[in-house]
Homo-oligomer: A and B are copies of this chain.
Amino acid sequence: MREEKTAPTMKDVAREAGVALGTVSKVVNGIPVGEEYRLRVEAAIEKLDYHINSYAKGLKSGRTMVVAVLFPNLISPFFSKLVNCINKELTKRNYRMMFYATDYNPEKEQEYVYLAEHQKVDGIICLSYNPKLRVSENVRLVSIDRYFGSQIPCVASDNYGGGWLAAEKLVENGCRHLAMLRIGSPLPHEPLKRKDGFIAACESMGVPYMQKSLEDGMPYTEFDDFLMEHFHDGKLEFDGIFCATDSLAYVMKGTLKRMGIRVPEDVQMIGFDGSRAFGDLDLYCSTIVQPMEAIAENCVDIVLKPKGERSPSLICLPVTYEYGGTTLK
């Protein structure tokens, strides 16, 4: 039976160094202290392999150096890549990330927001599907892609601009009749603006377009019918498709292939997200790339701001076009 050796505390360090407890605390927190004392304390810390107890620190100071991140899941490439960026950004600033998967469940989201608040995190970054999320005023929360009103800062891509850019690029590549495929959402959120931007661009350019929205929850295969309706004599009525997400584009690529329609020869296609599923090796569709690093950086910037400080209520970050084989260039 070996005795449980308990971790050294500041008191132990103080005794070892022959200084007062408060002095050790100062050294640990980088508060100036006499050279000689500092060296003695540092030596003692080294010798005892002392590490601060973050729970005692969190209890006393109220700051925990932890940020809670709430996302529906980590399965979608867009989510996981974005969470990865957020984590990187937090780590860079010596914060740690507590992750919660909400599973698209509004109640879970609310529960986790409460939980995170009471677990005393320093902030919450949240990609929410709960239209009426309630947040305590004591904790800073940043929302991604959903605008909750001017009280809660929201960070998103420039979805409107992205939709516009997609239409432009298709036309630039020679398309004359466009179509947009998308999944509707029962809730208003920023990505809906992809459609608005797309339509605005089409009208501004005088290019005919059609649009098919699927109700949330419907299988992508419903789009097959839409394609068939507009497929006559081996030709589609449109020669450019804007898919609201890359995963949709990926699936449609398969569908078109089965219909014997060549991409990009017969019809060109652009997706949205730019979250390549297999890293840099795969270019599975031309796409509008969301600036994940910038989104992450902005979220973290805002969430770590002191409580009092005001932040913009909406930040839209610029997107870019990236060729990926489903357009001419």
Binding site for B on A (CB under 8 A): 4-5, 7, 51-56, 58-59, 64, 66, 73-77, 80-81, 83-84, 87-88, 91, 96-101, 114, 118-120, 138, 220, 247, 250-251, 254, 277-279, 281-282
Task: Count chain B CB atoms within 10 A of each CB in A53, A64, A88, A99 and give the residue with the most.
Answer: A99
The distance in angstroms between the C-alpha atoms of A277 and B277, with both chains bound, is: 6
**A278→B77 contact, CB < 8 A:** yes
For A282, the chain B residues whose CB sits under 8 A away are 247, 250-251, 254
The distance in angstroms between the C-alpha atoms of A247 and B58, with both chains bound, is: 42
The distance in angstroms between the C-alpha atoms of A38 and B100, with both chains bound, is: 31
**B64→A74 contact, CB < 8 A:** no
For A76, the chain B residues whose CB sits under 8 A away are 278-279
**A247→B281 contact, CB < 8 A:** yes
The distance in angstroms between the C-alpha atoms of A238 and B136, with both chains bound, is: 63
**B81→A75 contact, CB < 8 A:** yes
Q: Smallest CB-CB separation from A81: which chain B residue? A: B75
Could you give 25 example pairs across A and B, Cβ below 8 Å?
A4-B138, A5-B138, A51-B114, A51-B118, A52-B118, A53-B118, A54-B119, A55-B55, A55-B58, A55-B120, A73-B84, A74-B74, A74-B83, A74-B84, A77-B80, A80-B80, A80-B84, A87-B99, A88-B101, A97-B99, A220-B281, A247-B279, A250-B278, A250-B281, A277-B277
**A75→B80 contact, CB < 8 A:** yes
The distance in angstroms between the C-alpha atoms of A87 and B66, with both chains bound, is: 17
Q: Smallest CB-CB separation from A87: which chain B residue? A: B101
For A281, the chain B residues whose CB sits under 8 A away are 220, 247, 250-251
For the complex of A and B, the 10 pairs showing the least CB-CB separation, nearest first, are A277-B277, A51-B118, A80-B80, A55-B58, A74-B84, A55-B59, A247-B278, A74-B80, A54-B119, A99-B99
For A250, the chain B residues whose CB sits under 8 A away are 278, 281-282
For A5, the chain B residues whose CB sits under 8 A away are 138
The distance in angstroms between the C-alpha atoms of A25 and B97, with both chains bound, is: 29
Q: Smallest CB-CB separation from A220: which chain B residue? A: B281
For A96, the chain B residues whose CB sits under 8 A away are 98, 100, 119
13 new A-B contacts, CB < 8 A, other than A51-B118, A77-B80, are A5-B138, A7-B138, A51-B114, A53-B118, A74-B81, A77-B277, A80-B80, A88-B101, A91-B101, A98-B99, A99-B99, A247-B278, A250-B278
**A251→B278 contact, CB < 8 A:** yes
The distance in angstroms between the C-alpha atoms of A75 and B91, with both chains bound, is: 16
For A87, the chain B residues whose CB sits under 8 A away are 74, 99-101
Q: Smallest CB-CB separation from A79: which chain B residue? A: B80
**B74→A118 contact, CB < 8 A:** no
